[in-house]
Structure formats: C-alpha cells, structure tokens
Chain A
Amino acid sequence: MVTIEIDGIELKVNNGSMLIEAADEAGIRIPRFCYHKKLSIAANCRMCLVEVEKAAKPLPACATPVTEGMKVHTRSPKALAAQKSVMEFLLINHPLDCPICDQGGECELQDVAMGYGGDVSKYAEKKRVVREKDIGPLIATDMTRCIHCTRCVRFGDEIAGLRELGATGRGEHMEIGTYISKAVSSEMSGNVIDVCPVGALTSKPFRYSARAWEMRQYESIAPHDCIGSNIYLHTRRGRVMRVVPRENEAVNETWISDRDRYSYEGLYSADRLTVPMMNVDGEWRETEWDTALEAAVSGLKDVVDHSGAPQLGALIGPSTTLEEMYQVQKILRGLGSDNIEHRLRQRDFSDQDAAPAFPWLGTPLAALETANAILLVGSDIRREQPIAGHRVRKAHVAGAAVFAVNPVDYDFNFALEHKLVVDPRRMTSALAAIARHLVTITGATNPAGLDKLVQSPEYDTAARAIAERLRQAGRSTLLLGASAINHQNFAAIRMLSALIAELSGSTLGYLSDGANGSGAWIAGAVPHRGPGAQAVQTSGKNLAQMQGSGMAGMLLVNCEPDLDLAEPQSTMQMLKKAEFVVALSSYKSPALLNSASVLLPITPFSEMPGTFVNAEGRWQSFEPAVAPMGEARPGWKILRVMGNLFDLSGFDYMSAVEIRDELQKLVGDVAKDNSLAWRAPEAGQIDGGTLVSISDIPIYSVDALVRRAPALQKAQKLLGPGFRISAALARKIGLKDSQEVKVKQGDREARIAVEIDDRVPESCVWIHADISDASKLGAGYAPIVLEKA
C-alpha cells in the first residue's frame, strides 16, 4: 500500500496499480479512450494526461504507476490544458456526424467532448476519410470514425486470442482492419462493439434500428450454454432490439459470446408460434387456448387410460427453464410416468445411476483460470462454451498446460501442450492409457479391468506426458465436453475420466448441454431421479429406451425433434407412430407439424420469468423484458393450467417464483460431487465398418433460437462447408477438395461435397450436423460409407 493524493484527496492504494485505477476506485473520473480495465495498457490516446507534481510533463494516468507520496492534479490548469488539446486533436479528423451515427447517445467520444471539447473548430483542412471494411455479418464498420485507440486490436490479441484486427499504415494513414479482407471468426467477436469507444465498430444487425435513449434495459440470462452469461436486453416498444453484456466477474466478466449477443434476432423469426394450433383430421387449424388445452389434456389422458401411464413420455429441451422442467416432471409423475428426458443428444445411459446429483463444473467458473493443467475430454470448448473456453485460455496465458483427447484436432485460441486426436472408437483406450500411466506414477493398485482397456500403444508418449503433468500440476481439472457426454461409450469415458481425476488429484467437470443442463437434474427432468436427485420408485424410460420401445403419447417441450436429438431419424419415427403428441414450443416447424397433434405456443426467455442453473450450480433467475408475442404464454402458466386440467394437486402457483421456491425448498443444497467409485466399464464397441462419422453440433445450430438468427447463420456459413475428411482418406478414395461423394449410412444415402481437412483422423468423416443433407444421415458416431460419385 502506498499513500498518494489525487486532487487533494488522500488515498491508500495498492502498490503497482496505475493512477487511473486509483482514481476510478475513489470515484475521481479521468477522461480516457484507450484504457480498458480488461486490456493491456497502450497509453496511446493521451486523453488521461494529468499533472503530477515534480514531473516535467503531464503523465498518462493509465500508464503511470503510483508511488509513495505522489501528488496528482486531474483538473489543474496544466492537466486540463493537456486533456483539452488531446480532445481537440481527436476531433479534427473525426466526422461530426453524430446524428447519423449509431453510437450517438452512447459514445465515449461524444460524452468526453461535452466536457473537454471546444465549440468551434480551428481546423480548416480536409478531414480524413477511410474506406469501410467488410468484416462479416456481425460487425458494421465506419472506419472514418476510428480514433485509433487499438482497444479492438488488443481485444483480439489478448482476449479472443486471434489476431484478426490490426493496425496497418503509419501516421494519419493508420487504419484498423483485417489486412487481408476477411470476416472475423472469433466466437466472441461482438465484444469489439462494446470496447470501441466510438461508432467505428457497431452491431450490423442492430444498425439504424433504435437510439440508445429510446430503449429500456432489462437484466436477463443468456439462454444457450452452461455458463448463463449475464446480459441486458435492450427493448423498444415491446421488442428486444439488442443484447449486451452485463458485468459479472464471477461468470462472464465483461464479455459475452456472439451466440448470446445475436441470437435475439431469432425471437422475431417468421416461424414464431403465436397461436395455439390443432391437427384436426390431418389439417392444422389455429384455435383458442381453451380448446387447445382441453384437446391436449384429453388426448394425453386417453393415452394413459388406454395404454397406461408407462406409455407416456416427455422430451424437454435442455435450455428450458427450471420452473417449466420441474412442472413437466411433476405432471408426468403425477400421471404415473417417469419417462422424462432432457438428455436429448446423449446416447449411452448405461451408468445413469452412478451419475452425480447434477453434472457440475467441478470448480467455480472463475477458478478455472487458476488451474495449472487442464485436460479437455471430447470438447471443442471454444464453440460449445465460449466463455468457459475464454477462462481456459486465460489459464493458458497464465502458464497452464492444456491437453485434449478429442475426435477432431479442433482449432483453439490457446496451444495444446499435448493432444490425442483419436478416432472416437479409440477415445476410451486413449483415456485408459493416461489412467494406466497414473497408476504407475502414483503406485496405486491397478484397478481391475483397466489394462484390458489400454489398446493403443501409439498414444503412449503423449498419454504419459499428460499423466505426469496432471499429477504435478497441483491445481488441475478435467472437463468433459459434448463429444464425450454424447459419445456411445460415455459411461466408460466418464469412469476413466473420474479415475484420472482421482489419481492425479484433479477436479472433474461437466460442460453440459443447453442453458439448463444442470438445472434439469435438479428439477428432476430425468427418468431415474426426482427433483434434487431423490430416488424414484421405479425408474422410467430414458431417451434410448423410449426410442427403442416406442411411445403412445409424448409431450415435447422446447424440442425440435429433427434437430435437437442425437438420433433424429428414430425420434421422428417414434413420434409418427405415437397416438398423440403435444408440443409446447416457441416455434413451428415442418417436423413439429408432421409429428404433433397439438401445438401450444410458449414464450422464449425474453418474454417470461424463469431460472437457469449454470454449470457451477449457480441459480440465476430473470424477469420478462417484453410482453408475450401474440397468444403465446409463459410455459409455467400453461403447465400450471394443464396440471389443473389433469386434476393433479399442487398446481396452484400464482407466479414462477413460487415454483422456484417450492423446488428450492424441496431440494435444498444439491450435492456437488462428481466423484465415482471404480467399476470396470465395458468398452462397448461402436459397431463395425472401417469409417465412422463424427457429427458435432455447429456453434450456431444448438437450439431453436440460434438456428433462426439470420446474422449468426450467415456467420456460420462463412466458416465453411461441414463435411470433412483427411487428405489421406481423400487420396484413398480418389477424391479432390470440393468434389461430391456418395454417402451411405444405414439405409440412408446422400451426395455431399467433401472438404479436405487434416484435423480429422483418417478413419473418420467429420459432419457438421447442420448441413442440409446431413440430417438425412443417421447418428453421431456411426459407420459410414463413402463412394466415388
């Protein structure tokens, strides 16, 4: 601690902090442009010049470390003269077009100019003009307005970890751009809009649609991933106009992913279901709520009466609110069925009884960045969970070693110290190899059945190195991502990961699907456990079992059966065979119209209250920002009425909060414990074939809302086609890049152009499941045949 004096106020501040931090903490406002507390110091704008006693020149507060006894004047004549002259310089070449600038009203330059600018410009020369640049569908540029603070450049370098924007040219000719014209590809690129102090970088979709002062701001929670980034919804006249981050150091800091920022466009898709609909003799009709609800309830009752409650099931999208999930399971269980499932993309349920009370991250999110070693198991973390990926990157920047056992050599914004990029069929043996080395290193007794799983001597060097580093790290963690959790051998992967975690002293964490994949377990949206992981009398059917046995009646909640499930084909067949299907959905789609009998319009997150539980187990509730669209209603209200119509007790809720409170009281503190006692897992084989397909969900295809956000869809297209094979495999088949190939999987066939990509193992085909022809194909990891077309 040192004592300094700013503007006559004595302050005790931390050694090594900069003057501007000390001033900010004391509420003394020093004007600034280039300084940003999350970015490195550039000291280039010179706006923060202040007078420091005994210094010959004014010093930049952002880059001047405090020293004992320092006396600083931020508004003395000398300081003000410096600040005003910098302001004058900044404005001479800045267009004075605030009335047509999107930043107008929320512009740092405009704000500071009010305090430090002159009324009349002495500059009589021509102003600089800079050509606009196209950097993709998300960010609009007006580079003439750029004040060269380089915040965006530093954001890319330091936070996104991709050097996409840079400064080219010298002096007045300096320009910010991509150098070689291209779209920025960072999954967090939109944050440059917030860091840009002027209107040089603005939101392309939002552009010209509203003024800052016309909008209201509502707190909310982002609905796409297991982080639950804190956001603001900005609304005008009952419509969400844009989404911006809401600072929360423990969760998303000051950032949000592009997915969270731009998905709001999907709220106003033409597909929105705004009126209840019923299929009457093969024809869809819009109808009144009463009629629809009665039809829905009596249809489902008929199923129970005629086929028995075990013939009734529910599929719930993992981004459904806690309150809705809890009510759905309460209805189903009230009717006598435990067939409740939210694990829509999971394939292996064999060890579900050994699963933790809820799949948690194993550590607070913020603590991820303090790990010394991180092993990613089956995760393209950047695209699956951008904010968690950012924490991993921070750990890496701070010196952590990051490893991966992955089916594809995903491109990360951090370097992997060792990686095992393996055919998914070898995933378990790769993990077993690591575990085996740990047994040797620690001298632990060799768990029965482990040796049998180690089949791949070629992984040995990397496996040993990973084992050693994890063991030495002190603070280390394993993270299970989507391609582990949704793997055919998930049980074995989980068991081996738990063993590695235990032997190496690491934490084990899950990066679960959706915004409420953790909340789903807490709410009891699984067939074998009630709320708070309480045991049920008899376990219901999980997804695989429902698909296997067929169901007479189904309730779908936030679930698009052709896109949200691991096995779209068999799911569609199951629904077609069912007698009666009710779908609660915010959207209508051909698949829903094809498979449901009644469609009930429920609101998306922006139009209702609710709670998401993130991977840390953090309960985050939000309120509606806008009124429901059309006749759509919050799911909790619909489910409440359905509960009443079913004559079930305990459905007298007056508000969503009551539901949450009831659940909270019921479950108390749900245990956070991912540990697992060893039981030799069966390395269930993925059957035969020489080639296997790896299909993961592209970043902007994870749920109904993002799939309908046009700007994100454009951005996803730019990432390139999604049917990729290695050069070696292409050579074997005799294929060139972009050539069409005949694809067979099961009884399905398609013709698709291949892209050559050496990040894919030779025995695999990497399918981004959104490509239109891919949905004709089957499951995630399944044998596939390629033939020259």
Chain B
Amino acid sequence: MANEVCFSTIDKKIPWSLQTYREQGGYDVWQRVLKQKTKPDEIIAEVKASNLRGRGGAGFPTGLKWSFMPRSAPGQKFVVCNSDEGEPGTCKDRDILRFNPHAIIEGMAIAGYTLGATLGYNYIRGEFWEPYERFEAALAEARAAGLLGRNILGSGVDFELHSHLGGGAYICGEETALLESIEGKKGQPRFKPPFPASYGLFGRPTTINNTESFASIPYILRNGGPWFAKLGKPNNGGTKLFSVSGHVNKPGNFEVAMGTPFSELLALAGGVRDGHKLKAVIPGGSSTPVMPADVIMDCTMDYDSLAKAGSMLGAGSVIVMDDSTCMVRALARMSHFYYEESCGQCTPCREGTGWLARVIHRIEHGHGKNEDLDLLDDVADKIQGRTICGLGDAAAMPVASFIKHFRAEFQYHIDHKKCMVGGV
C-alpha cells in the first residue's frame, strides 16, 4: 500500500498538472462541496474519522484542531499552510509542492470553506525556489479554471490563496513565528495562549496546518474518513511520507502506511550502506531523540510505537547512521544548528543553545572535561519546558538522548581526546 495519497500522482507523466490531478478525481470534492454547500460540521466529522494527525511534527489530530476554529466569528479569518520545512532530515513537503500542488490547493480551499476563511497563505521555505514556482503555476491554473477567487463557480463562496516565500529561518516553521513573518515582522514565536485559532494572522482567527496535512484532505473526503483511517493503524490514520536520509543506499521520500515496520522502510531505501552496520536512527527529524539500532529495529513507524520506545515520529524524517558515524560529531553538528537558529527572544533557548553547542564542540575537539557530560545533561534539562516555543525542547532532546545512549563514546572523546570511531 504505497503512494495512495500525497504521492498518488507521482508516476504520471506530468504529475503536477491540473489535468493529471483532475483525471484522478481532483477538485471533485471541492466542486461537490461548493454545489451542495456541505455542512462544515460534516466535513470536520469526516476529518476526525480519518484519524489524520498533523504532519508538521506534533501529531495533533487535525479534525480536532479544526473544531477549535471560531468559524462563525465575524470578520476576516485565515487558513495558513506551513511549507517552511526546515527540520533537518525533512524533505517531504518539497516533493508534494513539486509533484502534487493541486492537492494542497484543494485541501486548503476545502479548509477555508469549512473554517469560514476566505483567504489563505502558503508559507514556503525560502530556499524552495523551484517548488515555489511550481506552486505558483498551479495556483494560476486553478484560478484560470475558476476554482479559486470570488464567487467560485457561481456558488457564492470566496476563497483566494497566495504563497509567501520565507527568508530562510528555521524558526519561521514554528506556527506563530510564521504568522509574524507573513505580517512582515521579525520571525519570532508568540507566547501561547492565545492560540492562532483565536488570535492568529493579523490578530484574526487562523488555522495552520502542515503541507502534508492539507494535501491529505481531498483524498480523505473523496474516499471517506474511515478509508483513510484504515490505511494506517488505530489512532494513526493514513499513509505517511517518510524522508529517509543518511547512510542508506537509496535515500528518498516514501509514502507508506502508518505502522509499517521500520525494517520495511529501511529496505525501501535500499538498506544500510553496503559493508556497514546500522548504528542509530533519528526517526522524526533532528529534534526527535536518537534511537540505537536494536531499539528502532523493533519499532513500527507510527506515533504511538515510537513514543513508547522513547522517541517521536515527528515529521517522519528518518536519519540513518551506520557504524562509521561519530556520535559526538553528529551531535555537535545538530547543536550548532539549533544555536544558529534560536530566535533569541527567550532566555533559556538563547543562552542555553550556545552553551550546549560550545561544550559539545569542545568535547569533539579534544578539550572535553570530565564534568562536561553532567553539565550537558543539566543545561539541556534547564532549557526543556521553560521556553516560549518548541525550539528549546528540540535543541535539548537530542543532547539528552545522544548522551543517554552513547555516553561511552562521549567519555572516550574526553578521556582520549580523539574519536572512538576512527575520525579525528
């Protein structure tokens, strides 16, 4: 069961064209909704039944999120798509934008209708120039076909959609920083509450979902919520895009069912590099805790299984590391990332990410001290749960998990001032 949702156009000749999309039944739901004026409650019920959980990383049930939107509140409301895709290891939204942009458009249009929003924005990662152009072209096609705009197909329903290219900051993937950025301000997360559903873009009620979440909507409504739910396993509906990178023979994006065993996903990616053994896997993007080979090999790829094993599905960004990997160096690279990407407004993250990065850098370069590992644990612990947004946690969790599972390697660096794996 692969490529049934977001990647269902991928084998077609021109996967991204309106024609391809229509041939598979694209925009049928949108037209039906416009014609029948389907009750928003019915749509939300269908989404709830699909067990779709937000694909941006947190896995929050999409139907439930939609039900929080005060959709009959007077005044402008918005839907916003998060295509910022900045998490190291993740590259799935890029391919949806490239190969199935109309699914995003249809999903957002339906969401707009359902949530009482006549205006949508798709916030696209700054470096995604080609996907941006693809998406713009799809928007033009949809507008020309009368599927967007005012009084769409004579239904009296308005929905306009714009894309917004980001400036290259990871933090702008955090939903409230993203809103600030669209507003033309410095991309800094807002303190929540209030949540975007009550105080979102330009202070108006707003629903934000990930690209993959929106792109799944037309399929859910075309085939029914239960169909989608059944693609996966209980509480983990649907198929999911996994970006497999690192030490595999065939890195890439794969759409497979939720609950697929990790070993199968690994096989799809061609298995671990020839001549090497699996050492560790980060299952959901750099912000999720690392898992030793033996632990992950027993897991299936879904929210619940990975959570039970001490990590998270995140955005489904699988970073595979084989036995040539120096865990100290890997962590140093990631910590440097968070140090650079912290927005700087809240104290624990601004100060803590730099502290972590410097200490790990020191250890890697042979200047580690014995007390450093406890210090790292302590600093990571002091960041966690005390910041405005999730970046602080994202920076702290890898540190704690790397040291927990690979402490000996760190200790070796400190004691011998060189790498155990064979690097410097």
A: residues with CB less than 8 A from B are: 41-47, 49, 56-58, 60, 63, 65, 82, 85-86, 88-90, 92-93, 122-125, 128, 147-148, 150, 166-167, 169-174
Contacts and interface: CB of A to CB of B under 8 A. Distances in A.
Contacts, number: 100
Chain A CB within 10 Å, residue with most, of B344, B351, B359, B369: B351
B345 A42 contact: yes
Contact of A86 (B169, B347, B362, B375): B347
Contact of B345 (A63, A125, A148): A148
A42 B189 CA distance: 10
Contacts of A147: 347
Interface stretch (B289-297, B318-326, B334-342, B412-420): B334-342
Given A122-B375, A171-B339, A174-B350, A57 B386 contact: yes
Interface string B149-192: 00000000000000000000101000000000000001000010
Q: Is the interface of A mostly helix, strand, loop or mixed?
A: loop
Contacts of A82: 386
Contacts of A43: 191, 346, 388
Q: Is the interface of B mostly helix, strand, loop or mixed?
A: helix
A148 B346 CA distance: 8
Nearest to A57: B385
Interface in B205-233: none
Nearest to A83: B386
B387 interface: yes
Nearest to B382: A85
Contacts of A57: 385-386
A148 B385 contact: no
A42 B188 CA distance: 11
Contact of B186 (A58, A128, A148, A167): A167
Given A43-B346, A89-B382, A170-B344, 11 more contacts: A44-B345, A44-B346, A57-B386, A92-B351, A93-B351, A148-B347, A150-B345, A171-B340, A171-B342, A172-B339, A174-B344
Contacts of A170: 169, 171, 340-344
Contacts of A58: 385-386
Given A60-B191, A172-B339, A172-B342, A44 B169 contact: no
Contacts of A56: 385
Contacts of B386: 46, 49, 57-58, 82, 85-86
Contact of B348 (A85, A172, A174): A85
B171 to A, nearest CB: 7
Nearest to A45: B347
Given A43-B388, A170-B344, A90 B351 contact: yes
B245 interface: no
A150 B342 CA distance: 16
Contacts of B340: 170-171
B169 A89 contact: no
B340 to A, nearest CB: 6
Q: State the 6 A-B residue pairs at the shortest beta-carbon distance, nearest first.
A: A174-B344, A85-B382, A171-B342, A89-B351, A57-B385, A43-B191
A92 B345 contact: no
A166 B186 CA distance: 10
A46 B344 contact: no
A92 B355 contact: yes
23 contacts: A41-B191, A43-B191, A44-B347, A46-B387, A47-B347, A49-B386, A63-B191, A65-B193, A86-B347, A89-B347, A89-B352, A89-B382, A150-B345, A166-B186, A170-B340, A171-B339, A171-B341, A171-B350, A172-B353, A172-B354, A174-B344, A174-B345, A174-B350
Nearest to A84: B382
B343 to A, nearest CB: 6
Nearest to A47: B347
Contacts of B342: 170-172
Given A57-B385, A57-B386, A123 B344 contact: no
A63 B194 CA distance: 10
Contacts of A41: 191
Contacts of A65: 193
B329 interface: no
B279 to A, nearest CB: 30
Nearest to B339: A171
A63 B353 CA distance: 24
B347 A46 contact: yes
Contacts of B171: 170
B344 A167 contact: yes
B65 interface: no
Chain A CB within 10 Å, residue with most, of B339, B353, B355, B388: B355
A420 B387 CA distance: 50
B358 interface: yes
B75 to A, nearest CB: 16
A125 B343 contact: no
Interface string B362-387: 10000001000001001000100111
B345 A90 contact: no
B422 to A, nearest CB: 28
Contact of B346 (A46, A85, A122, A169): A46
Contacts of A89: 347-348, 350-352, 355, 382
A46 B358 CA distance: 23
Nearest to A82: B386
A643 B312 CA distance: 90
A128 B351 CA distance: 10
Contacts of B359: 125
Contact of A148 (B169, B344, B355, B375): B344
